[in-house]
Structure 1
Amino acid sequence: MTTNFQLLHARATTQSLGASPIREVANAAMGRSDILPFWFGESDQPTAAFIRQAAKEALDRGETRYAENLGRPYLRHALSDYLSKLHGMEIGVDRLAICGSGVSAVMLAAQLLLEPGDRVVAITPLWPNLTEIPTILGARVTRFPLSVSNDRWSLDVERLLQTLTPDTRVLLLNSPNNPTGWSIDEAEIAPILAHCRKYGIWIICDDVYERLVYDLSVPSAPSFLRHYEPGDRIISVNSFSKAWSMTGWRMGWLVVPPELIADLSKLIEYNSSCVFDPVQQAGRIALSQGEAEVAALRVRLVETRSMLVGALQVIPEIEVPDAGGAMYVFFRIAGYEDSKALAHQLVEKVGLGLAPGIAFGTEASSWLRWCHATTQERLQEGVERLRLFLSR
C-alpha cells in the first residue's frame, strides 16, 4: 500500500469560509439553564397544531416515497394561489419550485446564475449564508452597506445604482432585512429594476420575512415580484420557516422566470432530489389555512418590538434605529466596538444571549441583534440583565 503523507484538506475556497460567530457564542452557552437566549431567528412558539396534524396524517397514510423534483402539484398549486392573492397578480405554477429550506433556495438560485468570477453586489449587513453561498461558487461579492438616516435604516439608491456596473451579474437583497429590519420602499424598486433591466443584471430577492412587516395595514413588504414582466431577471427565494413558525421543517420555494424552471428542476435533483411528502402536506395546510397564524404572529411582533425598543431607548448608551420588519432589534452600545467579545461577556456575566453583529459583516462589527419573537416577560428580563451588565 502506498501512503500519501500530505495533509488532508478541503479546497481553498471552503477553507476560507468563516464559521458563524452566532453559533460560536451560542455553542459556548448551550446547556446552561441560566441563559436567556435571543440569538437565533425563530419564534419561541411551536408550529400550529393543525399544521403538525397534516404531517402526522400524511405519515399515517404512508406518504414516505420520492416526490417530484419541483414539489407535489397540490403544493405548487396552493403556493400559486397564495402568492397570486398576496401580490395581486398571477404567479403561475410554471414559475414555482419547492425545495428543502430557504437557504437551499438561495443555493439553487446561485447555482442557476453564477459562474466563477462573476460579480455579486449584496446589500449589507446580511445573514452570512447569503454572501457565503456565492463565494462557495467562486463569485466575487461586493458589499453595499445600508446606513442610518434620521434614526432609521435606509438605502442610498443613487449610490447603489453607481455600484451596479455593467459587469455585475447579480444584485442580492433581503427585505425585510436580517439583521437590521430595513425594508425597501415601494418607490425605490422602480429605479433599481430599470437599472438592472438596462444592464441585464439579475435580482435575487430573499423574501423570507416579506409577511413580517410592522405596518399592519399592509399584507406584506414591497416586492419586486409585483413589478415582474416577462423577460425580467428576477428570482424570489422564500421559506415556510418564519411566517408560519416552521423553522425546523426545512422547506422553501423559489419563484423564477418560466424559462429557468426546467434547469432548476435538474439542479434540485442533483442537490436534494425532493422534499419529504409529510412536510409538503404541512406546507399546503399552512398556505391554505394559516393566515390567522401569520396575522397573530405579526401583531405579536409589533407589540414585542415596541416594548423592547422602548426599554432600550431609555438607556443612554444605546442606539436603536427604526426599521420596517423582520423579527429583530439591531442596536449598539456606545463604547463597545467588538460585538463578538461583547456577546461573550453578556453570556458569561449576566446570562444574556444575543447575536454579535460581526456575524453579518464588518460594517456591523459594533452592533448586536436581538430576536424579539418571544414573550414580553422574557424580553423585560433580558433588558434587566443588560442593565445589570452595563451598571458594572
Structure 2
Amino acid sequence: MSDVIPDSLRAFCSSRVQEMPDNQIVAVADLARHDASVVRLWIGEGDLPTPDYVKQAAMDALVQDDTRYSYSQGMPELRQALADYHQRHWRVDVGPDRFCISIGGMNAVVMAMQAILDEGSEVIMPTPAWPNARQVIEIVGGVNVSVPFDFHDDGRIELDLDRLFTAVTDRTRAIFINSPSNPTGWRMPLVDMERLRDFCRERDLWIVADEVYNHFVYDGNGPAPSFLQICGPGDKLLVTNTFSKNWCMTGWRAGWVVFPKGMDQLFARLCQYNTTGVAPFIQRACIEALQRGDDFIAHQVARCQASRDVLVEGLAALDNVTVFSPQGTFYLFFKVHGLEGSSLDMAKRILREAKVGVAPGSAFGPEGDAYLRICFAIAPELASQALERLVPFLRALESRKSAAVAD
C-alpha cells in the first residue's frame, strides 16, 4: 500500500509495488504467532516435521562441503529424480531437460509468468485464488482477469468454462488453473481439463497449472490428474509445483517448473538472473524426498482426511454455516451466514475470542469476503480441539443474529 512508503521516497518507488495489498493471512498470523494457546489453522503448512532422511541428506551434503554454485536449472540428478517421480505417479514421460528447480513454489510461479507475459498481457484466473499468484501477474506487468467460481447452497463449487472462455480477449496470454484449488478445495474434472486444453490450443494460449496439491485428494481418488497427462511436450503448458506440501518442507524453499521441450535455456537464464539457483545441499535433500518419500505422502493424506472429516462434520451441523467439502488440498472453505463485518474482522475476532487462527476469505480476493479458510493438515486431535472452540463461537453468533431479528 502506498501509505507505508515515506513521503520523501514515494515518488521514487515502483508504483506497482506500492499498490500491492497487504497479505491478510499474514496480518492475522502476526497477531499471535508466539501465543501457544492458539490453534493455528491460518497458514498452509502441515504440523509434521520434515522427514529425518530428508534432513539427513542435507546435513550429509553440508559435511561434504556441497555448498558451492550449482547448475542454474538444477542438478541433473534432481531433474532425473523429478522425471522418475512423475512417471511413477502419473505415468507420464517428461524428460529431465523439461524441469527447472526453483526457490519454492512461489518462485516457480514468478518464473512461469516472467517467461510468457509482456506488458499488458492478460491472465484469466478463477477466483477466489491464492493471493500470491494474483500479485505476481501484476508485478511482472500483466493484468489479472478474475472469473468467479459458482458456490452452491448444497456445498458444491463449480467453474463455468463458458464464462471462463468468454473472458478471453485479444490481450489474453494465459489461463491460470490451480487444481486442486487453494482456498476452495475445488478440483477440475478431467473432462474440463481436456476441454480447456483444446480451447487453448485453438486460441494459441498458455495454460499455467499450479498442481501443488495433486496428492491431497481423498476417499481413495488421488492423485488428482495432471495436465501433463493430456498435453504433449510441445503444448503451451507450464506446470508449477513445490516440495513444501508433500514432504513438509515449507521452510526449505524448493520447487520446480515443468515447461515445453526446448525452453530449457530460457528457464536456466531466468534462474540465473532471479536467484542463481537453489542451494546444492537443499537439492540433495529434495532428491531424497522424491526417492523415499511416497509413504510419507500417503501418511499425510490419510491424516488430513481424518482431520477433514472431523471439521466438515462438526461445522456442517451448524445452521449458520455452509461447508464446501474439499475435493482436494488441505483447506476447508466455509461460509458464515450473517457475518458481522468483513471476513478479516471476523478472523481477528475468532482469534481473540476463540483462540483459533483462521484465514479471512477476503485474502483470496473480494469474491471470498463472506468466507473463512482453515488448514486441516493437522492431527485429528487438534482438529477436534479447534472444533470445540469454533462451534460455540459460531453458535453464539447465530444466537445474537436471531435475537436482533426478534427485536
Which TM-score band applies after superposition, normalised by the shorter structure? over 0.9
Other-structure match for 2:90? 87
Q: 1:310 to 1:226 in 2, by over 3 A?
A: same
Match of 1:257 among 242, 260, 267: 260
Other-structure match for 2:403? none
Amino acid at match of 1:314: A
Match of 1:365 among 353, 369, 389: 369
Q: What fraction of aligned residue pairs are identical, expressed as a percent?
A: 35
Displacement after TM superposition at 1:167 (Å): 3.1
Other-structure match for 1:161? 165
Q: 1:6, 1:342 → 2: CA distance?
A: 32
Alignment length, in residue pairs? 387
Q: 1:282, 1:113 → 2: CA distance?
A: 30
Q: 1:112, 1:217 → 2: CA distance?
A: 33
Q: Deviations over 1:125-167 (max 9, x none)?
A: 1110001001011111100111124421111122212223343
Q: 1:190 to 1:216 in 2, by over 3 A?
A: same
1:258 aligned counterpart, secondary structure: coil
What does 1:176-325 correspond to in 2, within 5 Å? 176-218=180-222, 220-325=223-328
Per the normalisation by structure 1, the TM-score is 0.96
Displacement after TM superposition at 1:254 (Å): 0.5
Report the more deviating stretch, 200-209 or 156-165.
156-165
Q: Cα RMSD over matched residues?
A: 1.4
1:28 aligned counterpart, secondary structure: coil
Q: 2:29, 2:214 → 1: CA distance?
A: 27
- Are the aligned partners of 1:116 and 1:138 in contact in 2 as well (CA < 8 Å)? yes
Report the more deviating stretch, 15-24 or 320-329.
320-329
Q: Deviations over 1:341-389 (max 9, x none)?
A: 0001011112111000000010001110010111122111211211232
Other-structure match for 1:78? 81
Report the more deviating stretch, 268-277 or 81-90.
81-90
Other-structure match for 2:60? 57
Displacement after TM superposition at 1:72 (Å): 0.7
Q: 1:207, 1:140 → 2: CA distance?
A: 22
Amino acid at match of 1:140: V
Q: 2:230, 2:324 → 1: CA distance?
A: 29
Other-structure match for 2:349? 345
Other-structure match for 1:13? 16
1:29 aligned counterpart, secondary structure: coil
Q: 1:228, 1:94 → 2: CA distance?
A: 17
Q: Deviations over 1:100-121 (max 9, x none)?
A: 1110000000110111101110
Other-structure match for 1:389? 393
- Are the aligned partners of 1:69 and 1:269 in contact in 2 as well (CA < 8 Å)? yes
Per the normalisation by structure 2, the TM-score is 0.92
Other-structure match for 1:380? 384
2:147 aligned counterpart, secondary structure: strand
- Are the aligned partners of 2:79 and 2:97 in contact in 1 as well (CA < 8 Å)? no
2:208 aligned counterpart, secondary structure: strand
Q: Which runs of 5+ in 1 are unaligned?
A: none
Amino acid at match of 1:165: T
Q: Which runs of 5+ in 2 are unaligned?
A: 1-5, 397-407
Q: Does residue 170 in structure 1 map to residue 174 in structure 2?
A: yes
Q: 1:345, 1:15 → 2: CA distance?
A: 28
Q: 1:103, 1:196 → 2: CA distance?
A: 24
- Are the aligned partners of 1:54 and 1:281 in contact in 2 as well (CA < 8 Å)? yes
Q: 1:80, 1:390 → 2: CA distance?
A: 47
Displacement after TM superposition at 1:247 (Å): 0.7
